[in-house]
Amino acid sequence: MTHSLKLGLHASAILFASVLTTACNNAGDTGIEYAPQMYESIPYDPLRQVNTNTVNPMGINERTPVVGTVAQGKLNYYSHIPKDSVGIAERRLSNPYAYTKANLEEGKVLYTRICSHCHGEAGAGDGPVGQKFKGVPNYTAGAYKTMNDAHIYHVIQWGRNRMMPHGSIVNPEERWKIAMYVRVLQGGKGPDGLADYVKVSNDSTQMTDRATQKPTLEAQADKASTTPGQGDQARNGTAN
């Protein structure tokens, strides 16, 4: 091998090494992507956007849901009652949760975190924000003292007057529990009224925990029919 050829090979090796070293030290260089089909899926992936989709609106892979579609597990978010129809909500909605101590205490925690800065600790409308901007209602006075759970739930969801909607902040279950605690504050004793409310609830067949509530009248789970196979005598009229 001639001397000039050796020098040429050495120079080529040095040049290749320098280029390789420079490329490896460049943090912005992505290098060569082998088998890109393994990373860029040929089928449309709804949560991955590599290139603009020329078929769908806004160039995304996801399609706009059909009008009226409700996501799985989100049915309770939709009461189908307009935001300005609180009266309809009062009549049509009902609290699915029992007035247990656990539910009321959770409602107190949620109220303190989300509502007390305006409505005040005792619901008198004297929270730090309420004192500055005024117009926050007092739960213990006037018509506010008689608001039912559904009224409170609807206002939490949609807002009213100067109150902004809170439907995106608290889920349906949390709204009902906040409503429960607001009912406690309507009594005028503030947070101290919770203990009294729990005691009244435990003495009532309407508000006890469903896990311990006994059926009323003859619908006792541990009481059999006096005439098996024929049923008991009807209590809503006489047979012809």
> What is the pLDDT of the chain when averaged over all its residues?
76
Distance between CA atoms of residues 174 and 180, nearest Å: 10
Distance between CA atoms of residues 116 and 123, nearest Å: 7
> What is the tens place of the pLDDT at every residue in 42-81?
677 777 777 788 888 788 888 888 888 888 888 888 888 9
Q: What is the pLDDT of residue 205?
A: 38
Which of 106-110, 192-196, 197-201 is the most confident on average? 106-110
128 to 135, 151, 180: CA distances (angstroms): 13, 24, 23
Distance between CA atoms of residues 154 and 173, nearest Å: 13
pTM (2 d.p.): 0.60
Q: What is the pLDDT of residue 59?
A: 83
Domains of the chain: 86-202 (1.10.760.10)
Q: CA nearest 163: which of 140, 131, 130? A: 130
Which tokens hold the place of 121? 């600790």
Distance between CA atoms of residues 17 and 12, nearest Å: 9
